């Protein structure tokens, strides 16, 4: 089994690379998706969030009101740390269970947006970084996601720098060009990952 950490700055195209890897046969473990699953209604995770933050963070139908919770935690580092202390161990446990269930010759790709920021590179056999120039990221966030330029810049500034991400990378996938140029590069990296995962 080859454990791969996949990361990239917002707007770099990591989600598309993730999708391509999965289409080639990678076992994809998506940290963001798991983080949503562990606080769904009826989970111990949601109960712990409500205990820490109060029932005001729930919508009328009992689901987590993410915008409301976000407005609380992103304005207060201590509250954010409290939320992370609830959610991160649950995400790690679920990720580990999914990894254990994978075949021994699998390429297991952990899609982790904040891999660099949280110092997680040592957890993986290798790290793949999807890279794009800041101008490209900005154009995509404004043009494709409808953010204002100031929103996009703030989101980018809250993440690791391009240089910090590249410093932890074993392999870099350049995604500065059009979408059709991305697929051949991802396939080339996939071939390298398969070779490394193959039993010796």
Residue 47 in this model has a pLDDT that exceeds 90: yes
CA dihedral 147, 184, 120, 151 (to 10 degrees): -10
In this structure, the answer to whether residues 14 and 92 fall within a common structural domain is: no
pTM, two decimal places: 0.85
pLDDT at 36: 94
In this structure, the answer to whether residues 95 and 154 fall within a common structural domain is: no
In this structure, the answer to whether residues 134 and 123 fall within a common structural domain is: yes
In this structure, the answer to whether residues 68 and 6 fall within a common structural domain is: no
Q: Using one digit for the tens of pLDDT, what is the confidence trace for 113-166?
A: 889 998 999 999 999 999 999 999 999 999 988 889 988 898 898 889 999 999
Q: Which of 104, 127, 154 is the last residue of a domain?
A: 104
User: What is the layout of strands, in order, in the sheet containing 126-131?
Assistant: 27-30, 107-111, 2-8, 126-131, 171-174
In this structure, the answer to whether residues 19 and 112 fall within a common structural domain is: yes
Q: Which of 62, 88, 104 is the last residue of a domain?
A: 104
Cβ neighbours of residue 122 under 8 Å, at least 6 residues apart?
A: none
In this structure, the answer to whether residues 22 and 114 fall within a common structural domain is: yes
Whole-number Å distance between alpha carbons of 133 and 121: 22
Q: Which of 86, 104, 122 is the last residue of a domain?
A: 104
Q: What is the CATH number of the domain that holds 131?
A: 3.40.50.300
Decide: 16 and 121 in contact? Cβ < 8 Å. Answer: no
- Number of domains comprising the chain: 2
In this structure, the answer to whether residues 20 and 111 fall within a common structural domain is: yes
Provide the residue range defining the domain that includes 159: 1-26+106-200
pLDDT at 200: 64
How buried is residue 108: exposed, middle or buried, by Cβ count under 10 Å (0-12/13-18/19+)?
buried
In this structure, the answer to whether residues 39 and 89 fall within a common structural domain is: yes
């Amino acid at each position: 089994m080859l454990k791969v950490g996949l990361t990239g700055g917002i707007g770099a195209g990591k989600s598309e690379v993730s999708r391509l890897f999965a289409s080639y046969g990678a076992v994809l473990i998506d940290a963001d998706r798991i983080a949503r699953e562990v606080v769904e209604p009826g989970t111990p995770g949601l109960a712990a969030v409500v205990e820490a933050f109060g029932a005001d963070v729930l919508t009328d139908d009992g689901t987590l009101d993410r915008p409301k919770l976000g407005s609380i935690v992103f304005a207060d580092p201590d509250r954010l740390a409290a939320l992370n202390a609830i959610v991160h161990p649950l995400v790690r446990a679920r990720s580990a269970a999914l990894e254990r269930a994978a075949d021994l010759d699998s390429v297991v790709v952990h899609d982790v947006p904040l891999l660099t920021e949280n110092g997680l590179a040592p957890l993986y056999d290798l790290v793949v970084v999807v890279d794009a120039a800041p101008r490209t990221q900005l154009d995509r966030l404004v043009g494709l996601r409808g953010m204002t330029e100031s929103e996009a810049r703030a989101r980018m500034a809250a993440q690791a720098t391009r240089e910090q991400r590249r410093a932890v990378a074993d392999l870099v996938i350049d995604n500065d060009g059009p979408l059709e140029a991305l697929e051949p590069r991802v396939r080339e990296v996939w071939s390298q990952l398969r070779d490394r995962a193959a039993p010796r």
